[in-house]
Amino acid sequence: MKGPTRADAIAQGAERLAGSGVPEPERDARLLYRWAARIDGAALSAALGARAEDDELTQFEQAIVARMRRVPVAQITGEREFWGRRFAVTPDVLDPRPETETLIDAALAGPEPQRILDLGIGSGCILLTLLAEWRGATGAGVDISPAALDVARRNADRLNVADRATLILSDWFEAVEGRFDLIVSNPPYIAEAEIADLDPEVRLHEPIQALRAGADGLAAYREIIAGVRHHLAPEGRVLLEIGPGQADEVSTLLAAAGLRVQAVFRDLDARNRVISARF
C-alpha cells in the first residue's frame, strides 16, 4: 500500500494544528477528515487503516491550512449540528453553540406557543429548531443583516419549516408587528473592552455586530426589553440567552420594565445562560 493511511493523515494534521495553537487539535483533525472524505464517524473509525485517497488528502490539506488560520471548523465544513439537526453556517452568522441549546431546553419545558419571535435570528438555529419541535407553531425571525437572513432561509428550507417561518429585515422590533406567545433571543452581549480577548475563531471570523454590545455588554438587552411590552402576548414568555455573570444585571433590567423573572437556567458548564421572564 503506497501513501499514508487515513490515520497517518489525521495524526499529521493534528500535529500541525497543535503547532499553530489550535485547541483540541485531534478532535478537529478528525472532524475535518470526515468532512474531506465525506464519511461519518463510524465509517472513518472502521477504515482508519485504509490508504488515504488523493482527493481526500487534497481537501483535508485545504481544511487544515484554513484551521491553522483559526477559521472555525463549522465555516470550513459549512455546517454545524445543533439539537440533532445540521445547520448551514457562513461567516455571516454566529456558529451555533452547545450552550445555546440551553435556551431550546428551557423553551420546550414550557407550554407550546402559537407564535414565536426570534430577535437576531442569525443562522436560525433557535427559531427553526423550535418550529421543527412544535409542529403547530409559526414564527418570525428578524435580523439587521440581509446575509444572515439568507442563511436562515436556507436552513428553514433544509428543515422543512419555511412555510411556517417569516423572516424580516429589521433592527430589533422596528419592522415587527403583532404579539407573540414566546419571544426568544441570543443577542450580542460582549462588552467593547472584552472583544480583543475573544478567541481568534470568534474575533476574526464571526460577525462583530452579533457580538459587540456597548461598553457594558447590555445595550442589546435594553433595546429588546424596551420593546417586549408592545409585542408579548398575555401570559407569554421571554427567553434571553445571557453571558456568564450577567444574570443579575439583566434581571434588574427586566424587573424595571415590569417583567417578572421566572427562572435562570444553567448550561452544561453550570454557568447561568438563559433567563425566563413574563409580565
Residues 227 and 168 in one domain: yes
CATH number at residue 272: 3.40.50.150
- Is 265 contained in some domain? yes
- Is 96 contained in some domain? yes
Q: Name the band, by pLDDT with cuts 50, 70 and 90, for residue 92.
A: very high
Residues 63 and 97 in one domain: no
pLDDT in tens, 132-187: 999 999 999 999 999 999 999 999 999 999 999 999 999 999 999 999 999 999 99
Residues 142 and 274 in one domain: yes
Residues 45 and 130 in one domain: no
Mean pLDDT score of the chain, rounded to an integer? 96
What's the structural domain count of the chain?
2
Residues 105 and 195 in one domain: yes
Q: How far apart are CA 50 and CA 200, in angstroms?
A: 34
- Is 110 contained in some domain? yes
Residues 205 and 260 in one domain: yes
| Percent of the chain at pLDDT exceeding 70 | 100
Residues 95 and 177 in one domain: yes
Q: Are 139 and 121 in contact (CB under 8 A)?
A: no
Q: How are beta strands 272-278 and 260-266 bridged, if at all?
A: antiparallel
- Is 85 contained in some domain? no
Q: Domain range spanning residue 25?
A: 6-69
Residues 217 and 124 in one domain: yes
- Is 138 contained in some domain? yes
Residues 99 and 62 in one domain: no
Residues 6+ apart with CB under 8 A from 95: 72, 74, 75, 80, 89, 201, 206
Residues 46 and 138 in one domain: no
pLDDT score for 58:
96
Residues 147 and 247 in one domain: yes
Residues 62 and 129 in one domain: no
pLDDT score for 41:
81
Q: Name the band, by pLDDT with cuts 50, 70 and 90, for residue 1.
A: low
Q: For the chain, state the CA radius of gyration.
A: 21
pLDDT in tens, 216-268: 999 999 999 999 999 999 999 999 999 989 999 999 999 999 999 999 999 99
Angle between helices 125-133 and 146-158 (to 10 degrees): 30
Residue 136 CB neighbour total at 10 angstroms? 9
- Is 210 contained in some domain? yes
- Is 60 contained in some domain? yes
Of 21, 37, 69, the last residue of a domain is 69
Of the given ranges (1-5, 6-10, 14-18, 241-245), which has the lowest mean pLDDT? 1-5
Residue 270 CB neighbour total at 10 angstroms? 7
Laid out side by side, the sheet with 115-119 consists of: 165-169, 138-143, 115-119, 180-185, 232-241, 272-278, 260-266
Q: How are beta strands 85-88 and 79-82 bridged, if at all?
A: antiparallel
In this prediction, residues 87-111 reach a mean pLDDT of 97
pTM metric for this prediction? 0.93
- Is 84 contained in some domain? no
Residue 9 CB neighbour total at 10 angstroms? 24
pLDDT score for 46:
86
